[in-house]
Amino acid sequence: MSEATRIVIVGGGPGGYVAGIRAAQRGAQVTVVEKDLVGGTCLNRGCVPTKAILGSVEAIHKARAGEEFGFKVGGDIEPDFARIMERKNEISKKLRDGIQGLFKRSKVELLVGQGRIVSADRVEVETTDGVKSLAADKIIIATGSEPAELPFFDFSQPTVLDSTAALEMEQVPKSLLIIGAGVIGCEFASIFSELGTDITMVEMMPQMLPLEDKRLAKQFQSIFRKKGINVMLKSKVESVADYGDNSITVDLEGGDQVTAEKMLVSIGRRPNTQDIGLEDVGVEMDQRGYIKVNDRLETSVEGIYAIGDVNGGILLAHVASAEGLVAVENCLGGNEERDLSVVPSCIYTMPEIASVGLTESQAREEGFKPVTGTFRLGASGKAMAIGEDVGYIQIVADEKTDKILGANMMGPHVTDLIHEIAVAVRKGLTVKDVGDTIHAHPTIGEAVMEACHDVHGESVHVAS
């Protein structure tokens, strides 16, 4: 019987831990090296904590709308922010414990410490018990990313936050200036506006959510405006006028000045590629510090792979997990290639936003003759019943072949609904394929069917 392949994975986030469990399932001898907490940014400082807080905020929102739903709650609804944050921590811990349980059952060794690659077949780990040396047949780098910083902001000031620090606040700020109206900024704005924070967003691009469909972004800005959120587009911070003990004041290009109790900088992320030995072993990186990989996710050094945020592909947890599975197969002799052509994008705001594939303008740029179908959730019985009828479903298709090219959605549960269209795009399904599929009633999902019917002008619930 041949000896098991030894795989060392540096990083225990959604890419690393998934890769570790799959490698063990395939019979490899696996060690996952994690310097902090298993689950990485997603589970501890990003995806899961923000959704846990949002869950509390949505419950508060529904309670405040009690009379609309036919019940009364005595007095004002007062958020217990300490309990909200405690609940967030409890959920993260429960999931961490779950991963460690999976490791134990799968016989994956977890080694806590700072990993450093010293050669193509060895990783050294600085632990509390000293330096341990791990022999490896294959190495997978899954060290993820961290919030990017702007050099003219002093992040040592208590008024300046990144997304990690924002998740550790002990009190709800009275006012919050958010630099960047992308996914992270909009999620935090959606959360804290419901908690009573006065919010101003500064975005240098001409639209919020720059990667989303223009119509969707415009409608979403209108929703934020109704919530009292001030969104300043085509605006840029020129300098910090004052770091106060309990406030910060910034000067914008053009002369405007904004003061807030806290400032959240949400301008993207940067790779965790420092101090892990990449330069010493010759792993090539681009100018931004992302690791260069081929379609098999192998780096410039044979036997060393890089997955997730650290390779600069699409910085999403589900992409990291998918790449982890591909890398493992290749570590064990396979010839798999990553496919990032169909990746759902989900934004957990109120209402939710989701998209996949091409927008109408992108389809036109790629040479298609796009046609669209739309269904407003204001005409959805289920959306009205649950009191969340703001939003729509839009399908983008190719007029020539009728194949679905993409979709963008805004409304309740669209982060779950988007996967129907992801499958359709991936498998080349047509508008007729999806539209002729019977969808249950009453559901939000049947809005997808109606939008498909509308592509051909045949939706019975859309006025012509």
In 254-301, which ranges are continuous DSSP H helix?
Answer: 278-281
Active site residue: 61, 441, 456, 461, which one?
Answer: 441
Q: What is the DSSP letter of 42?
A: H
Please name the residue that has the structure tokens 């967003």.
201
**37 and 46 in contact (C-beta within 8 Å)?**
no
Report residue 304 as tokens: 């060393």
Cis status, amide bond into 370, omega within 30 of 0 = no
Report residue 404 as tokens: 């679905």
Pairing assessment for the beta strands 257-260 and 248-252 based on DSSP bridges: antiparallel
Q: Is 303 left (phi over 0), alpha (psi -120 to 50) or beta?
A: left
Distance, CA of 436 to chain centre: 32
DSSP assignment string, 192-238:
HHHTT-EEEEE-SSSSSSTTS-HHHHHHHHHHHHHTT-EEE-S--EE
DSSP assignment string, 357-405:
E--HHHHHHTT--EEEEEEEGGG-HHHHHTT----EEEEEEETTT-BEE
| 274/145 Cα distance (integer angstroms) | 11
Pairing assessment for the beta strands 138-141 and 304-306 based on DSSP bridges: parallel
Give the CA diameter of the chain. Answer: 73
Number of other CB atoms surrounding residue 81 within 10 Å: 15
Report residue 4 as tokens: 């098991």
453 is catalytic: no
Report residue 205 as tokens: 């691009």
Catalytic positions, please?
441
